[in-house]
Amino acid sequence: MAGKGAMGTVYRAVDEQGNPVALKVLDPLADDARFQAEVDALRRATHPNIVTYVAHGISAGQTFVVMEWLEGADLEHVLESGIPLKSNPAATMGATLAEALEFLHTREIVHRDVKPGNIFLRAGEPALPKLLDLGIARRLDEPSRITHKGAIVGTPSYMAPEAALGHDGIDGRADVFSLGCVLYEAVTARSPFEGDHAVHVLAKILVDDPVRPSRFVPDLDPRMEEAILTMLTKDVSRRPTAREARAMLERVGEPASRVDAPLTLGERRVVSVLLTSSPSVTADTIQERDALVTDAHVRAAVARHRGTLLSLPHSAILATFGGPGAPSDHAVRAADCALDLAGWIGSAHTAIVTARPESREPSLADRASQLLKQAKRTRVPSILIDRASEPLLGSRFVLEETPIGLVLRSAKPGLGGARTLRGRPTRCVGRDVELAMLVALVHESAQDRVVRSAVVVGDPGMGKTRLLHELMGQARLVHFVTARGESTTAFSVAGQLVRRVAGIEHGSSPSEASARLDAHVATRLGGPFANFARELLGEIAQVPVAQPSAALVGARSDPAIIGDSIRRAFVAWLAAETARAPLGLVIEDIHWADAPSLVLLAADVRALGDQPLFLLFTSRPGARQAQALSSEIDAREVRLGKLSRAASERYVRDLVPGAPQATVDFIV
């Protein structure tokens, strides 16, 4: 016996002429379709750097395939010595393998499992490589008969991002990424995406950029480094083909001008990452993802907070939160999503980490994995936060230091309370006029029982949120409820308001949320419309009834009817709420808000003119949605500019008592 793999056993045999051959016998429990796919691919892959097919058949009830016999060692065994290859031999090996992959790709075959164990070095020479094991290779023009939709096929450490996500339509550039991983390991003696288990590795592939190889090998040829990092591009549309990769590798050793570093995470926008724990993973090869990540509730929660769901195997969830906006926007959305998911992921722990532009060590996935390790010291499901996320979340969420780390407990119920910076209370300075204007509007709404509205406009960092804190602390006549602008799902903002007024907490189970909303509506609305209104408010708040009525089923089939019904229910609900006490609805970042929610809010203003309702929005300058809504509901605009020098000095002196004037001048 020469070796044993996942599909069968390989023996050294001889053919009729007495020449040595490799005889691979299919394991009785192996996938016959996959074995046949390997045979089909081998028969078509007649290339000097791909193992040669000889014959196949069935003998004594056993399926077999015969291939050429190779003398030497596979690359995996060569690299086990811990001694990396030099740039030139590694580049020669890489260019030769890229040529073999190019041959496969032109015949619309994707290897899908390029790794050191599937690269054989004849006579142990890197210049004489051969590709082995086409067992999971697949023709691009054929539907997948071997794996179900969304299945993950390959070896985690060498898997392209699109393969890790289980995407359909994977092409030859996935093999190029895998070859880039192989070459990285060949020249550094370490994997570009190292992790404690498969989930950790896949998280790094999906989120992290690899450390530049020259950090470990300072004398590495710059062209070799450029080729490897280009092959490891996560965006498949920007990744080279096998032919382009071969051309880059063939230039290694030529005189090179300075090679610019590729764009890294440190140069991109800040991103927050959410990763949940999973059962222990030890398998080297992942063949299926767990069904959890396809659960509609998980998808809806991530989408609701404008995140990107990256599926992982073994019940793990990986989601990223980035894009336009300040770092705090991303971290807040990740935290809100984690709290929403808490009711659906059972005993799993969750980690939230944020990338800082000035530092990428340790990586995002490493930091998240470390937090999840810490969480294993308790059986209580926990949401752990890294130190980079802490200052972005502290003002909006309840965070607690525990023996396992910093734990996110809940969202703060409102924006009131003392504000601190570095633990020291600070005054709101330079906003007296704006604050007085808003307080007057709130009191007018509450005392005269009229609808009033305002929009606070300012660039990021101008103090919009701080002004809201001060307003809520001073305007005691009104009960404030807050929401944040979200636009991925219809009625996202309106749904937040319903859930918060009804007292539905983050992480509530579906049954708890439903019971809360049932009880809330029962105390607000009566008559024949009450039950239907409960169903419609549940549609908005993602708290559906178990058995929808015929009226709701019929309304869902007609966009005009369901839209009008939701509008009636929302207005009736707010009318009942404001009849009990003056109400203030505060929506931050209305420029991100979904259009259906804005339509509902405009309808409230028109229908509830004699009710004590105060609407307050924050927006960045030039946001068209905010401008349109402000015009429609005649909202008072409060524009925030830069603080005056005197106000800035007062702020600094509050923060640094006794600071010399020179220090104050420098900070201001």
Question: Which residues are registered as beta bridge partners of 398?
Answer: 410
Alpha carbon of 635 to those of 233, 456, 614, 627, 632: distances in Å?
47, 10, 10, 9, 8
Cβ atoms of 451 and 615 within 8 Å: the answer is yes
| Separation CA 222–CA 641 (nearest Å) | 48
CA angle, 345 as apex, 339 and 350 as ends, to 5°?
55
Longest dimension (CA), the chain: 104
Cβ atoms of 189 and 213 within 8 Å: the answer is no
- Give the contacts of 175 (CB within 8 A, at least 6 positions apart): 101, 104, 105, 110, 111, 112, 114, 160, 242
Q: E-assigned strands of 86-203?
A: 109-110, 119-122, 129-131, 138-139
DSSP 575: H
- Give the contacts of 521 (CB within 8 A, at least 6 positions apart): 502, 530, 533, 534, 537, 573
| Separation CA 668–CA 659 (nearest Å) | 12
Which is nearest to 378 in space by CA: 363, 395, 400, 411? 400
- The helix/strand/coil state of 535 is helix
- Judging by DSSP bridges, how do beta strands 424-425 and 420-421 pair with one another? antiparallel
- The helix/strand/coil state of 379 is coil
| Separation CA 240–CA 227 (nearest Å) | 9
Place of tokens 């808003």: 438
Q: Single out the catalytic residue among 31, 32, 40, 113.
A: 113
- Residue 479 parent element (H or E): strand 479-484
Cβ atoms of 497 and 483 within 8 Å: the answer is yes
Q: 242: which 2 tokens?
A: 């096998």
Alpha carbon of 665 to those of 53, 508, 648, 649: distances in Å?
78, 50, 10, 8
Q: Count Cβ atoms below 10 Å from residue 24 Cβ, excluding itself.
A: 23
Question: Which residues are registered as beta bridge partners of 21?
Answer: 13, 68
- Judging by DSSP bridges, how do beta strands 420-421 and 405-411 pair with one another? unpaired
- Give the contacts of 295 (CB within 8 A, at least 6 positions apart): 344
Q: 248: which 2 tokens?
A: 């880059």
| Separation CA 436–CA 68 (nearest Å) | 86
CA atoms within 13 A on the CB side of 59: 9
Which segments of 543-623 does DSSP mark as H helices, in order?
Answer: 550-556, 559-580, 595-607
Cβ atoms of 278 and 372 within 8 Å: the answer is no
DSSP 349: -
- Judging by DSSP bridges, how do beta strands 583-588 and 479-484 pair with one another? parallel
Specify whether 260 is catalytic. no
Looking at the annotation, which residues are catalytic? 113
